[in-house]
Amino acid sequence: MFLARRTAVVLALGALLGLLWPRPATILLVVAATALAVGADVALAASPRRLRVARSLPGAIMLGETAIATLTVTNTGPRTAMAEVRDAWAPSAGATGERSRMTIPAGQRRKTRTALTPTRRGDRQADLVTVRLLGPLGLAGRQASLLAPARLRVLPPFSSRRHLPSRLARLRELDGRSAVMVRGAGTEFDSLRQYVVGDDVRSIDWRSTARRGEVVVRTWRPERDRRVLIILDTGRRAAARLGDMPRLDAQMEAALLLAALASRAGDRVDVLALDNTVRAQVRGASGAALMSSLADAFAPLEASLLEMDWSLLASTVAQQLSQRSLVVVLTGIDGAGADAGMLRATTALAKDHALVIASAIDPGLGELRAERGDTASVYSAAAAESDLVEQHAVRARLARAGAEVVQADPAGLAPALADTYLALKAWGRL
């Protein structure tokens, strides 16, 4: 049972009557009449247990988009239900319009819509719908919470998608420059061309020569089907907040852009997320299926407060890759972050694979470094400078171990990593 605001108004009017006729009988009469009216209202209100509720909403949206959750309320009872419905969602779901009033005749249904604009990535869940049914006088009614489970998956926004067209254009330029084909020793057939003096006679295509009436040779290009393994560190380094986003989100943006670019280049892309255990894995997908699988796998990921197990990383790479491949590790390079395990894994991986270690750096360090206004800011600037010097030393140690190191602010990490991938292709290292 619940009391409506109208009940307070009635009691206030009763108190006014008590002031005009200050007698105990007046007060008792007002209270008794109000109680009788409230009891009658509750008795005549429709039962909330005779209502059936169901939510319907899209399975997934990207962070920053708005989804519409439709709540259908069906009255299975014999009475008309004057209902106040609250479609309850967690604050992070960004719900608007979650309260509504509706009149539902017996045997009919009504719908109400709630706009959801989530503020966080992951699964946003709702379970209960609170329903209040007023009596005919509008003084009181019945209340119940009805179960209507629903889940909305919020995918990473992939805002770095805007960098993809320019990188694809550069990729096509690289493919055009590699059109100077090797003779006979390639692995991927490209085209036929007229024979010139100096060509290997073993590359002559005799059937095409007979058909055209001139000597033609096959041209080949080096194999483009390479393996790219992207690994996200979901340990404590990924939990660091850089500006307005966690490092893990910046790593996801970089992984999505690189995966899209490498897939369009014809490379086979696999993705792992791990700390001291594997948190997510995407293997064997390509094209649109790859990006959809990555977005779905990244959505529920959260950084843990555990250390990255670099021996687990190295053993996992050894199990999954039997040929030389590109291994990209997205982690944090903090001032004191290059432990012995990280350096041993880097050295081992760089022997067998092209290794890239990418890290989003804290833009606040540069701001602190530039402050010189007072004594406190000078000390902060010195601390920031010391941290940057330590990061530079770590980067140098990783480079000596054989890794290509990429560092950029959170917004710039994705395009910087894509540029490194293209540079490796241009240098012939992929």
Domains and CATH numbers, the chain: 2-44 (no CATH), 48-155 (2.60.40.10), 180-221 (no CATH), 225-426 (3.40.50.410)
Q: In whole angstroms, what is the distance from residue 430 CA to residue 420 CA?
A: 11
Over range 410-418, report the average pLDDT: 95
User: Sorting pLDDT into bands at 50, 70 and 90, what band is 180?
Assistant: very low
Question: What is the band of 173 on the pLDDT scale with cuts at 50, 70, 90?
Answer: confident
Average pLDDT taken over every residue of the chain:
85
What angle (nearest 5°) sits at the alpha carbon of residue 97, between those of residues 92 and 98? 65
pTM: 0.79
Inter-CA distances, 115 with 76, 94, 199, 253, Å: 27, 8, 67, 26
Q: Identify whether the C-beta of residue 144 lies closer than 8 Å to the C-beta of residue 395.
A: no
Percent of the chain at pLDDT exceeding 70: 85
pLDDT band at 360 (very low <50, low <70, confident <90, very high): very high
Q: CB 12: neighbour CB atoms within 10 A? A: 9
Weakest mean pLDDT among 69-78, 201-210, 384-393, 407-416:
384-393
- Among 262, 261, 239, smallest CA distance to 249 is for 239
Of the given ranges (212-216, 252-256, 380-384), which has the lowest mean pLDDT?
A: 380-384
pLDDT score of 65: 93
The pLDDT value recorded for residue 203 is 80
pLDDT category at 182 given cuts 50, 70, 90 is very low
Query: What pLDDT does residue 220 have?
Result: 62
Residue 347's pLDDT is what? Answer: 93
As a 3-state breakdown, the chain gives helix, strand, coil percent values, each rounded to 5, of 40, 30, 30
Q: CA nearest 257: which of 171, 319, 177, 174?
A: 171
